[in-house]
Amino acid sequence: MTRTIYLATGNAHKLREFQQMFAAAALPWKVEGAAALGGMPPVDENAGTFSGNALLKAHALQKPAPKDAWVLADDSGLEVTALGGAPGVHSARYAGVGAKDGANTEKLLHALEIIPEGSRSARFVCVLALRGPDDAEKFFEGDCRGRIGRVPSGGGGFGYDPVFFPDGFDKTFAELGDDVKNKISHRGQALRKLFIHLRGPD
């Protein structure tokens, strides 16, 4: 029997990534976005940590969800060493509340304009918060290390993908394609830990 996990996001790109990775894992689960429950409720992401913000989103979506529903929330961001870990939990609103991807990326590149090539290290971080019908909470974390380029490159992905070169690759996340990105990304790593949990003991 196929079960449903409701993903606490209104981001169509993120929903598609999760659906692709769940399908590839061949688990008896399907992923529905917040739209299936009437839309993502507003959340003040003020926890200060990825895990805290993920949990806030999971709690928010669980309220309109059926009582026996499973809810999954993701909080992800980019941490740049030369910027002291910024934009971090503020990645989605780095250029201001409601900022588009292009504006956030432009602000990041401007902040790194004088930073030399050898000092542009960064990592993407993802924390997943899973809440079940019994209010049990589980967290799953992944990260992907790399560096920030000087100009956007590639038309795939979203967010900071066009300027992030993962370690070991000479292409950005936006150039690598979904199959490669999903294998090495922060979100892919966190999801693989989630899949082990959902499969349960062998």
Helices (H) and strands (E) in the chain, counts: 6, 6
Three-class secondary structure of residue 124 per DSSP? strand
The residue behind tokens 């590149």 is: 109
Q: Is 161 a catalytic residue?
A: no
Distance CA 62, CA 181 (A): 29
Residue positions counted in the chain: 202
The CB density around residue 164, as the number of other CB atoms within 10 Å, is 28
Interior angle at CA 14, CA 132 and CA 63, nearest 5: 35
Q: Are 140 and 122 in contact (CB under 8 A)?
A: no
Phi and psi at 9, nearest 5°, equal -155, 150
Catalytic residue among 75, 161, 167, 178: 75
Distance CA 151, CA 125 (A): 22
> What would the two tokens of residue 143 be?
């990260």
- Residues recognised as catalytic: 75
